[in-house]
């Protein structure tokens, strides 16, 4: 027979902080629900007292509270375990997305050292990932672009906003590619107290690395083609004009400017009908450009007469070629002309 039991301190439910939830956010109804479920489980196998003695009823109540508390803890522990499993699955998915993303991702310290890098970026640099950690990223920037890289890196840290630059990157085997860097500055908490940390917070720079070699080469090819076309146009003796689909002047040859008294850059961007104060705005030219060429690819020996303010009327023979897109829409028109005497 038990003696009089000493009252125990009031028992209270130990609240556990789940990921993403603060203590104050755990509502009272959730606590009540947990207790209700725990008591329902205990009720299936109740403890019955036979001929209870004085004091044993109090002990029985305390034992019941302990059992409820024990079940609640087990239920919370199960919930924590499920949350941990979900977090691990989410983490694994994130790692896969990070490593196999089509864009390279690099995390740099404030000193420009690589602290993390995904597989895509490692492949782009041509070096095994584990050999890249703790190396200075500037080692992979082409020497002629390193000043630009340092300026970009410092600017990102100082202004704390996303910035972009393009650099030539040198791979581990010495080959190069053109890269676009989109960089952001962040602060993250690190309990390991790394050097340079302020109250546990360290500065990092995250860089998204994209290979833009194809685009750069395409732009270079276009620029080279334009330069070549301009060179050709400036060396031919006959006046030449290139128009777009809206009949605006894209380019004129030097001989055209000199023949018809136009300053460099004066014609480009204007409709051909507006050149020379409207002296090209004549029905015969409109017939060629708006009636014949929309249906013909090439028109040769087209004759028209224009009254120029400084030289009077002149007869011109025009050869016109329409260049079309795959859809058939006019992309450009080339006019080559010859001034006919008399």
Per the model's pLDDT, the better-predicted residue between 271 and 62 turns out to be: 271
What span, in angstroms and rounded, lies between the C-alpha atoms of 253 and 120? 48
Spatial contact of 290 and 281, defined as CB atoms under 8 Å apart: no
The pTM of the whole model exceeds 0.85: no
Q: How many Å apart are CA 108 and CA 137, to the nearest integer?
A: 8
The average pLDDT across 56-76 equals 70
Q: Which domains does the chain have, with CATH numbers?
A: 23-99 (no CATH), 104-211 (3.30.450.20), 224-340 (3.30.450.20)
Is residue 313 within 8 Å of residue 304, measured between CB atoms?
A: no
**What does the alpha-carbon distance between residue 308 and residue 56 come to, in Å, rounded to a whole number?**
123
Let me know the angle formed at the C-alpha of 219 by 218 and 225, rounded to the nearest 5 degrees.
90
What pLDDT was estimated at residue 183? Answer: 94
Q: What is the mean pLDDT of residues 248-276?
A: 89
Which residue from 295, 259, 294, 291 is spatially nearest to 275, judged by alpha carbons? Answer: 259
pLDDT for position 113: 94
Round the average pLDDT of the chain to a whole number and report it. 80
Whether pLDDT at 164 is above 90: yes
Select from 104, 149, 147, 145 the least CA-distant residue to 127: 104
User: Which of 67-76, 124-133, 218-227 is predicted least confidently?
Assistant: 67-76
State mean pLDDT over 248-270: 89
Three-state SS across 53-101?
CCCHHHHHHHHHHHHHHHHHHHHHHHHHHHHHHHHHHHHHHHHHHHHCC
């Amino acid at each position: 027979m038990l003696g009089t039991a000493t009252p125990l301190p009031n028992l209270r439910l130990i609240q556990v902080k789940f990921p993403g939830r603060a203590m104050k956010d755990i509502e009272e109804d959730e606590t009540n629900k947990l207790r209700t479920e725990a008591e329902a489980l205990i009720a299936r196998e109740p403890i019955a007292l036979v001929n209870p003695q004085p004091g044993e009823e109090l002990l029985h109540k305390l034992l019941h509270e302990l059992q409820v508390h024990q079940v609640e803890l087990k239920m919370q522990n199960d919930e924590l375990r499920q949350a941990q499993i979900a977090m691990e699955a989410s983490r694994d998915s994130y790692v896969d997305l990070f490593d196999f993303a089509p864009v390279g991702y690099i995390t740099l310290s404030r000193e420009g050292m690589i602290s993390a890098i995904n597989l895509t970026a490692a492949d782009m640099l041509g070096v095994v990932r584990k050999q890249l950690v703790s190396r200075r990223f500037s080692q992979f920037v082409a020497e002629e672009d390193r000043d630009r890289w340092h300026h970009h890196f410092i600017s990102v840290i100082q202004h704390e906003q996303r910035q972009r630059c393009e650099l030539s990157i040198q791979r581990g085997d010495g080959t190069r590619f053109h890269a676009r860097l989109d960089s952001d500055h962040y602060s993250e908490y690190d309990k390991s107290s790394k050097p340079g940390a302020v109250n546990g917070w360290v500065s990092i720079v995250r860089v998204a690395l994209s290979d833009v070699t194809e685009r750069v080469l395409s732009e270079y090819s276009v620029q080279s083609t334009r330069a070549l076309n301009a060179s050709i146009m400036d060396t031919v003796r006959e006046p030449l004009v290139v128009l777009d689909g809206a009949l605006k002047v894209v380019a004129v040859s030097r001989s055209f400017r000199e023949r018809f008294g136009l300053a460099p850059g004066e014609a480009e961007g204007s409709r051909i009908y507006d050149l020379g104060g409207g002296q090209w705005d004549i029905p015969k030219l409109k017939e060629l450009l708006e009636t014949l060429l929309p249906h013909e690819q090439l028109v040769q020996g087209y004759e028209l007469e224009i009254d120029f303010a400084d030289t009077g009327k002149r007869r011109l023979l025009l050869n016109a070629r329409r260049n079309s897109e795959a859809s058939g829409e006019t992309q450009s028109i080339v006019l080559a002309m010859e001034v006919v005497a008399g």
